[in-house]
Amino acid sequence: MCDFCKPPPQESTKSCMDCSASYCNECFKIHHPWGTLKAQHEYVGPTTNFRPKILMCPEHEMERVNMYCEICRRPVCHLCKLGGCHANHRVTTMSTAYKTLKEKLSKDIEYLISKESQVKAHITQLDLLLKETECNSERAKQEASQSFEKLYHVLEEKKSAALRAIETSKNIRLEKLQTQVEEYQGLLENNGLVGYAQEVLKETDPSCFVQTAKQLHVRIQKATESLKTFRPAAETTFEDFVVDIAKQEDILGDLSFHSNGLEIPEINEEQSRMYNQALISWECPGKTDSADIYVLEYHKLNREEENVTWQKTEVCGKSKVVSDLDDDSSYAFRVRGYKGSICSPWSREVILRTPPAPVFSFLFDDKCGYNNEHLQLNPRRTSVESRAGFPLLLGSERLQVGCYTTLDYIIGDTGIAKGKHFWAFRVEAYSYLVKVGVVPSNKIQKLFHSTPDVTSPRYEQDSGHDSGSEDAFFDSSQPCTLVTLGMKKFFIPTTPAALKDPASRILPLPSCLGICLDCDRGRVGFYDAGRMKCLYECEVDCSGIMYPAFALMGGAAVHLEEAATAKYREYNDDI
């Protein structure tokens, strides 16, 4: 049937392959007039099987596109390549372009499909932002209205006070002027002083006249003087009551929203630390805390993630303990303040790294057999301090030359049998010599019975003659794996493969030192706990239960790092 006839349609006689439609004879002539491009269309007998439409070149209408210009990124015909604007352009076959573009489009579609959950999450986040924007705008309107109401109230009070002052001044001035009017009216004829004087002049008795006229003359002289120096009793102008609003008008004219009314908080890196949990502390540059609440955000640094998702928590104070962080990972933290609907800009991001393993908690063992004359524990068993002790001081008369004191050992009260663990501690900068590391349970007794007592009469000092035989048996005689600390330095232990230069083994002593023991791999590492950077790592025999070990000589002190908790933060704030 013809596709263009009015109902009822006639039988089709031709089908145009270019128009993909069927026509009767009359409709074909109408839609394919002679002398036009459509007259050159290809037609066949009536059919419903039309070939796909051929794309023609827009510059050469008779040519089909069969190439793809990679520079212009568009299909072209062979005439465009031979002498057209694409003559010097790089072209490729249509099939190659089809394959390349189809692969790119397929990859883009697959990427969008793979990011469907992320897009939905972003949509959810945007919906929340829409609601939050609505809520914050209403709150901002309310706060703006309250601010202007306060200004209106202040202006109304000032207006009432000014009007009352003007009214009071007016009444006082009117009263003074009215009194002055009455005084001058008394000077008029037949009224007051003048009338009385005229009556006195009528007196014929000299004695009576003199007696009365004397006092009357004084009054008349005063009235005469007042007439010569007339001055109103009150001013008629109110110049003192002109309100100068020029400055206030300028201030009100400049009245606008102040989005940066809150100071930018700063994360205090010295008070913030990462241990079993992250303790983040911040402060404001100003003296007063202008924010009502703070929002702390953090996220794990991951190079593979293109879009960062921040986790946030609201905080009423200026510190927050963040838990459930992954081991051996870096996290970025930032904070901003809120006061009503106004928020400050974000603080500078601070990056902290978590320990390489779960934190191992222990205390100094007060029953391990340590020398309590030389080592003193605090009541909580979190700190140990080395001192001379009474026996050494009482026996110092026998010491006529210099001598070295002994290494006094102490261990942790909890051992490690398997797994990977990390603990941290601080060594006082004044410490003479400290050794830290690990010791197996089967060699603990050797630590506490292998050190000589310099206060004993049987103690003999070293002659100073170095035979060189000590170094040969040094490694085999050590019951534990320790590193040496002293003079604010960290000394890497010597090994056969170590460099000969002693300076290469000396590192600055970190403010906080950490030890990571991996029993499964048989390795122990010593870390700068502030940056969680490994300073030295070596193999260790973990066949038995391993204990944290410490050795102190001379004046020295070691403090175990306490777990980061909310109560710990409050305790430090009170101090």
Contacts within 8 Å (CB) and 24+ apart, 13-16 = 13/45, 13/46, 14/43, 14/44, 14/45, 14/46, 15/43, 15/44, 15/45, 15/46, 15/47, 15/48, 15/50, 16/41, 16/42, 16/43
Do residue 193 and residue 214 come from a single domain? yes
Do residue 152 and residue 229 come from a single domain? yes
Q: Which of 112, 146, 164 is the last residue of a domain?
A: 112
- d(CA 245, CA 249) in angstroms, rounded, equals 6
Does residue 424 lie within any of the structural domains?
A: yes
Q: Which of 83, 112, 141 is the last residue of a domain?
A: 112
- d(CA 514, CA 91) in angstroms, rounded, equals 63
What CATH number does residue 93 fall under?
3.30.160.60
Do residue 37 and residue 148 come from a single domain? no
What CATH number does residue 300 fall under?
2.60.40.10
Does residue 446 lie within any of the structural domains?
A: yes
If one counts the domains in the chain, the total is 4
Does residue 568 lie within any of the structural domains?
A: yes
pLDDT given at position 465? 45
Q: Which of 112, 140, 167 is the last residue of a domain?
A: 112
Using the structure block, give the residue that is written with the tokens 């009017």: 181
Do residue 75 and residue 209 come from a single domain? no
Do residue 426 and residue 508 come from a single domain? yes
In which domain, by residue range, is 161 found? 125-253
Does residue 8 lie within any of the structural domains?
A: no
Do residue 317 and residue 433 come from a single domain? no
Q: The tokens of 212 are what?
A: 């009365």
Q: The tokens of 502 are what?
A: 């002693």
Identify the three-state secondary structure at position 493: coil
Does residue 409 lie within any of the structural domains?
A: yes
pLDDT given at position 50? 65
CA 306 to chain centre: 20
Identify the three-state secondary structure at position 509: coil
Q: The tokens of 390 are what?
A: 């009474």
Nearest in space to 424 (alpha carbons), one of 356, 336, 471: 356
User: pLDDT tens digits, residue range 46-82?
Assistant: 877 765 566 778 888 788 888 888 888 888 888 888 8
Nearest in space to 241 (alpha carbons), one of 154, 166, 158, 159: 166
CA 4 to chain centre: 70
> How many residues appear in the chain?
575
What are residue 526's DSSP bridge partners? Answer: 515, 536
Which parts of the chain sit beneath pLDDT 70?
50-54, 186-193, 226, 228, 256-261, 286-289, 303-307, 389-405, 450-479, 496-500, 565-575
DSSP state, residue 36 = S
- d(CA 284, CA 291) in angstroms, rounded, equals 9
Do residue 244 and residue 304 come from a single domain? no
Does residue 365 lie within any of the structural domains?
A: no
Q: The tokens of 382 are what?
A: 């979190």
Do residue 417 and residue 439 come from a single domain? yes
Do residue 416 and residue 313 come from a single domain? no
Do residue 92 and residue 196 come from a single domain? no
Do residue 136 and residue 196 come from a single domain? yes
Does residue 118 lie within any of the structural domains?
A: no
CB 411 within 8 A of CB 365: yes
pLDDT given at position 191? 56
> CA separation (Å) from 267 to 275, 292, 297, 325, 372?
17, 17, 12, 19, 42
Does residue 36 lie within any of the structural domains?
A: yes
Do residue 430 and residue 562 come from a single domain? yes
pLDDT given at position 17? 77
Q: The tokens of 196 are what?
A: 């009385």
Q: What is the distance between the terminal CA atoms of the chain, rounded to a whole angstrom?
A: 98
pLDDT given at position 73? 85
Nearest in space to 259 (alpha carbons), one of 196, 331, 338: 338
pLDDT given at position 187? 64
What CATH number does residue 430 fall under?
2.60.120.920
DSSP state, residue 368 = S
pLDDT given at position 403? 57
DSSP state, residue 272 = -
- d(CA 113, CA 120) in angstroms, rounded, equals 11
CB 328 within 8 A of CB 309: no
310: left (phi over 0), alpha (psi -120 to 50) or beta: beta
CB 547 within 8 A of CB 439: yes
